Amino acid sequence: MLTFEGVVYSQGAFSLAADLSVAAGKVTAVIGPSGAGKSTLLHGVAGFVPQTAGRLLWDGAAIGAKTPDRRPVSMLFQDNNLFPHLTVLQNVGLALTTGLRPSKDVTERVEDMLAQVGLSGLSTRKPAGLSGGQQSRVALVRALLQDRPVMLMDEPFSALGPALKDEMLDLSVSLAAGRTVIMVTHDPNDAVRIADEVVGVVDGKAWVPLETSAFMAQPPEPMKNYFGS
């Protein structure tokens, strides 16, 4: 369980408050209007935005002071998920090693995972030689190979067309089964499609998660504007 005990993340003049728990092993969507603080919440968990109050706990242990790579999280960013100057193999290999010449063992594991998402034979290409959907798969493979219990997704598929986006969401959830997935989205349909629970974020405050159907039926009061009801 990921627990926010009176946590405040501050970025310049903006701050986001969260006092809630996210269930382990489930998919949680973070929904809210632009500028409400969805990304701040996610980047705070990942360790990129300074935490100015409270405690962040994973399975009871405080992780708020750890550097990004020591936290139990992997992250898919909105863009720039892949280094354009590195091959697919090197990009994914960085999940397992900090070298650019992955060992045989690492190469095999990377190729295995690539095959699972239908990217066999593409490991020597650079990102520019891949389609948008293929690039997303490579980034997903790397996040999975980092093998962290929490996977954070900051609208990584928002540049894809609707059908491809749905396909990628389904693929992510099925491959990440058993992990805790927290996904930012501005599209309620994404939440309905894959999320077990929903955290609403409005005006710098994250609300306690509700089960998706319950959330959709009756969103928290300040979010009603956002849904237009």
Partner 1 sequence: MARRALSIIAALVVAGAVIVPVAAVLWRGGGITALSAADWAALRFTVWQAFWSAAISVVLAVPVARALARRAFWGRSALISIMGAPFILPVIVAILGLLAVFGGNGLLNLILGPLGVPKLDIYGAHGVILAHVFFNLPLAVRLILQGWLAIPSERFQVAASLGAPLFWLLEWPMLKRIVPGAFAVIFVICLGSFAVALTLGGGPRATTVELAIYQAFKFDFDLSKAASLAVVQLVLGGVAGLIALMLARGDMLGAGLDRVVQRWDGSRVIDAAWIAAAAAFLLFPLGAILVAGVPGLLDLPASIWPATLRSLAVAIAAVVLTIGLALPLATRAGEAASLLGISVSGLVLGTGLFLLVQPYVRPSDVALPVTLLVNVLMSLPFVLRILRPGIEGAREDFGRLGQSLGLRGWALWRIVYLPRLRRPMGFAAGLTGALAMGDLGVITLFSRPGEGTLPLVMYQLMGAYQMEAAYSAALVLVVLSLGLFWVFDKGGRVHADV
Question: What sign for the dihedral angle of Cα 102, 104, 107, 113?
Answer: negative
Could you say whether residue 67 binds partner 1 (CB under 8 A)? yes
Could you say whether residue 195 binds partner 1 (CB under 8 A)? no
Q: Per-residue string for binding with partner 1, 79-98, x by CB under 8 A?
A: -xx-xxxx-------xx--x
**φ, ψ (nearest 5 deg) of residue 151:** -115, 125
Q: Which residues inside 127-166 make contact with partner 1, applying CB under 8 A? A: 127-128, 146
Q: Which residues inside 25-44 make contact with partner 1, applying CB under 8 A? A: 43
Q: Compare residues 75 and 194 and give the one whose CB is closer to partner 1.
A: 75
Could you say whether residue 100 binds partner 1 (CB under 8 A)? yes
| Distance separating alpha carbons of residues 147 and 95, to the nearest angstrom | 9
Binding footprint of partner 1, residue count (CB under 8 A): 26
CA-based nearest residue to 115, from 97, 92, 87: 92
Task: Locate 218 and state its tokens.
Answer: 């009756």
Whole-number CA gyration radius for the chain: 18
Q: How many CB atoms lie within 10 A of CB 172?
A: 24
CB of 85 to partner 1, least distance (A): 4
CA-based nearest residue to 154, from 133, 182, 184, 187: 184
Q: Which of 3, 28, 74, 134 binds partner 1 (CB under 8 A)?
A: 74
Q: Which of 69, 108, 147, 211 binds partner 1 (CB under 8 A)?
A: 69
| Distance separating alpha carbons of residues 118 and 174, to the nearest angstrom | 14
Interacting residues with partner 1 (CB under 8 A): 43, 46-48, 67-70, 73-75, 77, 80-81, 83-86, 94-95, 98, 100, 126-128, 146
